[in-house]
Chains A and B, each alone.
Chain A
């Protein structure tokens, strides 16, 4: 088969960005929740994708409302992300209650992780998160392959040649991203639990804002590179919030210790 190099390179680069986005979510779910849930979500998404692409083929671009899908997934990711970010910020600033049921469960998870054991139970939250990210990004890759491939039709390259070249480019990008992810997986498991959850919260909020914005038709400056700008904005804001809440907690503790010293002295004077 003749390879249309411009289409191959364009599809490779564009798909690599989408694969990295999907793989980031799969990776963080695998590390923070468990790999079984993460991979189950990714496999279910891959099966759904295969079904959609197999049924619709090139007509996929016409029938799947990618804008609506981006909007829905984006909003859900913002909700998930803010929930995780809130908990992580409260823990960093020492405001999070230590003895609620959720905290006890999370402590057990952290304990198991520290011992090098993993929780094998399927976690719905993790599976759904992984599923949505892979499905959305997978659909975007399919869109890239079909649109880039179809637009490459010329006298020297047929539609099959264009789509074939784009498919090869996307497939190589996918394999490379998975290999790279497998390499960074091991060092990531050594990162402390709350740090990971903080990073996950940041990433989900960042991706969520980006996708929801795209769903509303916002053309982000610098395209996908704006993800880094969003991440920086949320990271900086989180640090400010942690510092402010941490200072408040310290003042609370200082007041409490002053009162506990003052009360016995008053009793002695009596």
Chain B
């Protein structure tokens, strides 16, 4: 796990300084980025910028792109070439968000987009249903059991049984509800004896 605050003795301190980009406070739902609304979309450039930003890998689970994860909400390019990217966190305290912001700015910079603003929005809240089917398949191939589909009206589903992503056996058990990152729990397979991560359904 990446500590939120590497120079502090504990992980329970707010991060300070050192941000690669200026980050807007959470926007209100339904309100797009203040800079994007009045501009006419430059569609070709926007498509390219979206492709570049979407291909940025998640720093914790690099087999997934941020597009696969469903945390890339919007990419717009103003006529002056300024790119406005909107992302949403999986968990409130996800420490990868700062790295993702920096990676998006860097990836777009390599394609010649010098002006990039990455905004963080909370609403609508991310759920594992935002993850693409391709993303879930990549997780299995990577050795992580993917999240199940959620019942949007029901409470958070507590997963009772999972198929081992290594050997396929359904005979598995949960070791710890909290795994190596906020979004995962730790499981072990009773058949092949291998431990594996499960991307929690939220």
A and B: interacting chains: no
